Amino acid sequence: MADMVVTENLSRNFSGFRAVDGLSITVEEGDCFGFIGPNGAGKTTTLRMLATILKPTGGRALVGGLNVSTNARKVRRLIGYMPDVFGVYEDMLVHEYLSFFSAAYGIVGKERLRAIEMVLDLTGLHEKRNAGCKALSRGMTQRLSLARVLLHDPKLLLLDEPASGLDPRARIEFKELVLALKKLGKTLIISSHILSELGEMCNSMAIIERSRLIYCGPVEGATRQVSAQGRIVKLMIQPDPEAGRTAADALELVRGLPFVEAVRQGDREKELAVRIKPEFADIWQLNHELVSRGYKVESMAEEVVRLEDVFLQLTKGVVQ
């Protein structure tokens, strides 16, 4: 696959404050790329540089092989940028709003009509074509904003917090829309705080903190990196107080096993969450040790590493 986005030591200063510091990432064509970081880490600034709204202070950024600083006009034909905060012309109807931006993109005549019909179908807004923009719900307004940036059929979509403020149903619908765009071959860079949904959509990602890159690569690579520090096993035990086998006794027993890194009580009284040392491959030894000492293990499963776990493990929780 060819590279759609490449940044090399990309930096941006604001009055002496460095908002992005030496960022080097690569996004291949067809990727759904998650851009993750705490507030103030530099995500929006980076997306604005890729969208040619801000000029880099240092380094360079390429979109489709074009330098965003020296080929801004050509780059804009390749991208669709959906900011985290946007407005619509409330006095317009939905189809008027899309027609206005089609004209801004230089789309005319029958081609304009086809483009509007295409984005209405893709975003599920056909029934709202004659609705006033000010009458739309938050979720429908998000769809309209996305429809707007799809009019000129861009290769790269830059979506900054696209699910912000949406209710659960609208978030699910928006996620399905993003997956549909991915199937169409679009390259997407998505900044979001809803990490569980990014984990379901994205195949690669970057994590930044305090303006600097912490990780860039496949999502699976990051989860393996966290898993290598110890697998988490959750189990439910059946205590037998009359026989002297309480949940507290089980916790102390597990804590003393040579292959256990750490253990804590889970969300429920009979649940234990156990971190197994990386060098021990057989997690079922834990079950054997408990059963051999008279405990009944009701259930046992290895916890899947989530994107939230990756983020918490790789970042330090420092903001600027």
More confident position, 152 or 317: 152
pLDDT of residue 293: 86
Considering only the top CATH level, what class is 228-310? alpha beta
Helix axes 94-104, 109-123, angle to 10 degrees: 130
Give the pLDDT score at 306. 76
CA atoms within 13 A on the CB side of 261: 16
pLDDT, mean over the chain: 89
Contact criterion met (CB below 8 Å) for 162 and 142: yes
Whole-number pLDDT of residue 221 = 84
Q: What's the predicted TM-score (pTM) here? A: 0.81
* SS3 assignment for the chain: CCEEEEEEEEEEEECCEEEEEEECCEEECCCEEEEECCCCCCHHHHHHHHCCCCCCCEEEEEECCEECCCCHHHHHHHEEEECCCCCCCCCCEHHHHHHHHHHHCCCCHHHHHHHHHHHHHHHCCHHHCCCEHHHCCHHHHHHHHHHHHHCCCCCEEEEECCCCCCCHHHHHHHHHHHHHHHHCCCEEEEECCCHHHHHHHCCEEEEEECCEEEEEEEHHHHHHHHHCCCEEEEEEEECEHHHCECHHHHHHHHHCCCCEEEEEECCCCCEEEEEECCCCCCCHHHHHHHHHCCCEEEEEEECCCCHHHHHHHHCCCCCC
Residue 86 above 80 pLDDT? no
Residue range 220-251, pLDDT digits in tens: 888 777 766 677 888 898 877 777 778 888 88
The pLDDT score that the predictor gives to residue 228 is: 67
Domain coordinates of the chain in residue numbers? Answer: 3-224, 228-310
Give the rounded percent of residues in the chain with a pLDDT score beyond 70.
98
Q: Is the pLDDT of residue 67 over 60?
A: yes
* Residue 135 pLDDT greater than 70, yes or no: yes
Which pLDDT band holds residue 1 (cuts at 50, 70, 90)? low
Q: What is the pLDDT of residue 257?
A: 92
Spatial distance between the Cα atoms of 277 and 209, rounded to a whole number of angstroms: 28
* Alpha carbons 176 and 196: distance in angstroms, whole number: 14
What value does the mean pLDDT take over residues 96-113?
A: 95
Which of the four pLDDT bands, split at 50, 70 and 90, describes residue 320? low
Residue 163 in this model has a pLDDT that exceeds 90 = no
Domain 3-224 grouped into CATH 3.40.50.300: yes
Residue 189: pLDDT over 70: yes
Task: Average the pLDDT over 101-115 and give the result.
Answer: 95
- The confidence score (pLDDT) of residue 94 equals 96
CA distance 167 to 112: 32
Average the pLDDT over each of 102-106, 144-148, 222-226 and give the range with the smallest value.
222-226
Q: What is the arithmetic mean of pLDDT over 67-77?
A: 96
Q: Mean pLDDT highest for which of 86-95, 177-186, 195-204, 232-241? A: 177-186
More confident residue, 130 or 294: 130
